[in-house]
């Protein structure tokens, strides 16, 4: 076995990630992935057997990257307000590093809703129970207005995720160019957290 073995597999995954995340499962071509990885198309099948299996490998890797981001807000042991500030700030850095990733996951999950079941089996699958208790505790202590952990979680995610997923749409509505839109996103790094906190603080 040559030393290239893992190298090739990694290069395939990297190329597949790029193509799949930008064009989706249906819009991606095995040939394009092979070209981008600089190898023969047959290698894709040698290492991953089929387009579907290659896709699932890429998808799982993508999800593995996203999960730790969510752990920050779900499992960490910090004060609720700091948590919201911390997540909002770090999520934006994450998206800059992986621009297509959240959209990719959401999109493919829409086309294949049962994927989530297989993901849940993983030990690192994010769990909201701890966060729910924390929110409930803050409500009981009179720190924040009554709100369920679920709804607060949905709100935090929505405010952080959609502006990136729907960037072209918002750019159109707001009539701003890429640079101006990036400035808006930069502003959100702090503003979104305060927006949320203002809403729930008593």
Partner DNA sequence: ATCTTTGTTAACCAAATGGTTAAACCGAAC
Partner DNA sequence: GTTCGGTTTAACCATTTGGTTAACAAAGAT
Does 158 participate in binding a copy of itself (rule CB under 8 A)? yes
Backbone angles phi and psi of 126, in degrees to 5: -60, 135
Residue 200 interacts with which of a copy of itself, DNA, none, CB < 5 to 8 Å by class: a copy of itself
Q: How far is the CB of 13 from DNA (least distance, A)?
A: 13
Tokens 């808006």 belong to residue: 184
Residue 118 interacts with which of DNA, a copy of itself, none, CB < 5 to 8 Å by class: none
Q: How far is the CB of 20 from DNA (least distance, A)?
A: 11
Taking contact as CB under 7 A, which single stretch among the options 3-11, 111-119, 123-131, 142-150 is the one that binds DNA? 3-11
Tell me how many residues contact DNA (CB under 7 A): 20
Q: How far is the CB of 12 from DNA (least distance, A)?
A: 9
Q: Considering only CA atoms, which of 140, 152, 143 is closest in space to residue 201?
A: 143
Give CA–CA dist 175/155, Å, rounded.
Answer: 25
Give CA–CA dist 134/93, Å, rounded.
Answer: 25
Q: How far is the CB of 91 from DNA (least distance, A)?
A: 32
Q: Considering only CA atoms, which of 165, 188, 192 is closest in space to residue 99?
A: 165
Among 10, 22, 49, 199, binds DNA (CB under 7 A): 49
Q: Which two tokens stand for residue 16?
A: 């597949």
Among 6, 10, 78, 145, binds a copy of itself (CB under 8 A): 145
Among 106, 122, 124, 177, binds a copy of itself (CB under 8 A): 106
3-state secondary structure (DSSP) of residue 107: helix
Residue with Cβ nearer DNA (46 or 125): 46
Among 14, 23, 24, 30, binds DNA (CB under 7 A): 30
Q: Considering only CA atoms, which of 26, 9, 130 is closest in space to residue 78?
A: 130
Residue 5 interacts with which of DNA, a copy of itself, none, CB < 5 to 8 Å by class: DNA
Q: How far is the CB of 10 from DNA (least distance, A)?
A: 11
In 41-177, where does DSSP find H-type helix?
41-48, 51-74, 80-97, 101-111, 115-120, 129-140, 149-165, 167-174
CA torsion through residues 116, 161, 198, 67, sign: positive
Does 14 participate in binding DNA (rule CB under 7 A)? no
């Amino acid at each position: 076995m040559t030393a290239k073995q893992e190298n090739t597999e990694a290069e395939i995954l990297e190329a597949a990630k790029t193509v799949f995340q930008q064009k989706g499962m249906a819009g991606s071509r095995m040939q394009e992935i092979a070209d981008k990885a600089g190898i023969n198309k047959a290698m894709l099948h040698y290492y991953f057997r089929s387009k579907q299996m290659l896709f699932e490998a890429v998808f799982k890797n993508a999800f593995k990257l996203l999960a730790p981001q969510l752990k920050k807000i779900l499992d960490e042991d910090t004060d609720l307000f700091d948590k919201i500030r911390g997540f909002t700030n770090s999520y934006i850095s994450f998206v800059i590093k992986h621009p297509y990733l959240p959209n990719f996951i959401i999109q493919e999950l829409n086309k294949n809703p049962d994927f989530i079941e297989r993901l849940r089996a993983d030990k690192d699958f994010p769990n909201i129970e701890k966060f729910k208790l924390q929110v409930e505790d803050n409500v009981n202590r009179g720190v924040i207005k009554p709100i369920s952990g679920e709804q607060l979680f949905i709100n935090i995610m929505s405010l952080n995720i959609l502006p990136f997923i729907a960037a072209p749409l918002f750019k159109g509505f707001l009539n701003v160019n890429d640079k101006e839109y990036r400035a808006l996103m930069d502003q959100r790094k702090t503003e979104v957290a305060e927006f949320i906190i203002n809403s729930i603080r008593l």
